[in-house]
Amino acid sequence: MRVAIIGAGMAGLSCAQKLRGAGIEPVLFDKGRGPGGRMATRRAEVEGETLHFDHGTQFFSASNSAFVAQVDSWQRAGVADIWEAAGAHAFVGTPSMNAPLKAMAATSDVRWAQRVEVIRRVDNKWHLSGEGLDHTCDVVVCAIPVEQAAVLLTDAAPDFARFAGAVDSDPCWAAMAVFSETVELSDVTRGRDAVAWASRNSSKPGREGRETWVIHGGERWSREHLEFSPEEVGTMLVDAFFAETGIAPCETVHLTAHRWRYSTPQPGKTPASLWDAQTRLGVAGDWLIGPNVEGAWLSGQSVAAQITSA
């Protein structure tokens, strides 16, 4: 049985992992150049030093027993560790947030920089096409962000597309900063209005180099400033960071910002995954079960279980 998974984020790689355990070797296609997504890490050259910023997902937790076991496995492999500043049960990838994804991708057949633009059903098979891409398979899994899934599934699975189209996602602006002085704050802090979260990224286990900060704007603030430029937003978030924490401002040595237009999906009461046994098409993602790393992993496991059962 030939299985194709569109999207090599946490949901897609989790699905592939479980399928391999059942003796099925799927092929994954991802438009990116490597693992990341919202578990991405941004690099920057600052005064001759390469620094890293986890500008998306800040940490993840584990409550489901199966995911707890997975996180334990990542810890033993050295690609995850506890970040006590965010809580006793807060984990991060080491040495960067996307380290668990890199480990999972290393054992999978992932075709990077391959954007699937159309999926269609012909002669009881699925055909995936895009620029330089023509692939045929028996089963296809869509494991991409909800806004992209709603578009890709429009013709192939209109009911699933409408389901995805009903999900809204909150935006988030992220500022990445290096200051001229040590910031006298705890490693994790929250603001009162514009700033939803600020953390000393360099305090996470496995990080090296000078002090770095990641500042996330709140949902309402990010939405109000959605179309501002990164330069404007970076300055505004840093100003708000100092104002809302009450500490004296200091000069920024490095400052940039990234807009997560679709940062946090807000699912309703939904199943962990979607599966059409007749056409053999599945859908997975954190937008189905919960907007976090655990939700994405569980969703991938869920659709894989339905495939193997079928």
CATH of the domain at 251: 3.90.660.10
* 176 and 255 assigned to the same domain: yes
CATH number at residue 138: 3.50.50.60
What is the number of residues in the chain? 310
E strand or H helix that includes residue 173: strand 168-179
Given a cut of 90, whether residue 178 has pLDDT beyond it is: yes
* 16 and 121 assigned to the same domain: yes
* 159 and 296 assigned to the same domain: yes
Q: Is residue 93 part of a domain?
A: no
pLDDT of the residue at 42: 92
State how far the Cα of 203 lies from the Cα of 199, in Å rounded to an integer: 8
* Count of beta carbons in the 10 Å neighbourhood of residue 161: 19
* 154 and 301 assigned to the same domain: yes
Q: Is residue 73 part of a domain?
A: no
Number of domains in the chain: 2
Q: How confident is the model at residue 273 (pLDDT cuts 50, 70, 90)?
A: very high
* 181 and 250 assigned to the same domain: yes
Domain that holds residue 141: 3-40+99-167+269-309
Average pLDDT over the chain, rounded to an integer: 95
Q: How confident is the model at residue 156 (pLDDT cuts 50, 70, 90)?
A: very high
Q: Is residue 122 part of a domain?
A: yes
Q: How confident is the model at residue 268 (pLDDT cuts 50, 70, 90)?
A: low
Given a cut of 80, whether residue 303 has pLDDT beyond it is: yes
Q: How confident is the model at residue 192 (pLDDT cuts 50, 70, 90)?
A: confident
Given a cut of 80, whether residue 281 has pLDDT beyond it is: yes
* 146 and 273 assigned to the same domain: yes
Residue 6 phi, psi (nearest 5): -95, 110
* 243 and 253 assigned to the same domain: yes
Q: How confident is the model at residue 190 (pLDDT cuts 50, 70, 90)?
A: confident
3-state class of 238 per DSSP?
helix
Q: How confident is the model at residue 31 (pLDDT cuts 50, 70, 90)?
A: very high
DSSP 292: S
From 265, 282, 301, the end of a domain falls on 265
* 111 and 214 assigned to the same domain: no
Q: Is residue 48 part of a domain?
A: no
Given a cut of 80, whether residue 270 has pLDDT beyond it is: no
* 133 and 177 assigned to the same domain: no
Q: Is residue 50 part of a domain?
A: no
Q: How far from 189 is each of 73, 104, 192, CA to CA, in Å?
A: 29, 31, 10
pLDDT of the residue at 96: 94
